[in-house]
Structure 1
């Protein structure tokens, strides 16, 4: 995928978030959750560099028909209706936190994911953010942890 291309979830990609038919790896699923048609492939590669070869993950998602790439034109407007809007933002945030923690930590994420399973409200998820940032920074680096925490904060702001 070209760096100036703007990936966006297809209807199949939105369904995959709920149905998990493709049994995606945690890294791949994390990236799928994060794609909203607002950031270029280059921006996603920079933010998710700690999870591995983001370019090949984007190519895999595109090959599976879960995302489509639009040219480097202006990104989709933030208020444009999309299929993603049908997913509850709180559920999307929980899934993103879980998938990124598992992708970054592997089995070491077990204790954190147990805490996450008990967080049902926006306030409880917000309270987990400092620990989420800490475990990601320990496993990867501060820049990755900050980028992922900002994404979660944006998701929670919509909840």
Structure 2
């Protein structure tokens, strides 16, 4: 989880492959209206995200043997909603500075998410640092290093 540009898709794919779990790309479940809104540079509201979060919760609940889901989960209420759908759910928070996220999103090219929205992601973010079941990592670390750290956390319970 984290803001746009933190590497959710890339890191999520590495974790899913490393753990032998399916990967669900949360962005695939945004409505056409929400995608269009973001492409125009308009930030989503809680109302825009409501059905998306319900759908993601169903996806999580439908994989009782485990799954890796990429999702911004910017607010505590969003994370709590997903936790209700999948008790025991854990989050890897990919922490990144606004400037680095802006550079990454601007470099994407044809992605539907407008780079002009990065600031709104940081304005919405309620850091999960300190929440139970959250591992905070530096999003700029090498992917293989992040994957190994997450694997250790998942298998050994190392939340450090």
Q: Same fold (TM over 0.5)?
A: no
More strand by percentage: 2
More helix by percentage: 1
Structure number with greater CO (CA < 8 Å, separation at least 6) is 2
* TM-score between both structures, scaled by the size of structure 1: 0.29
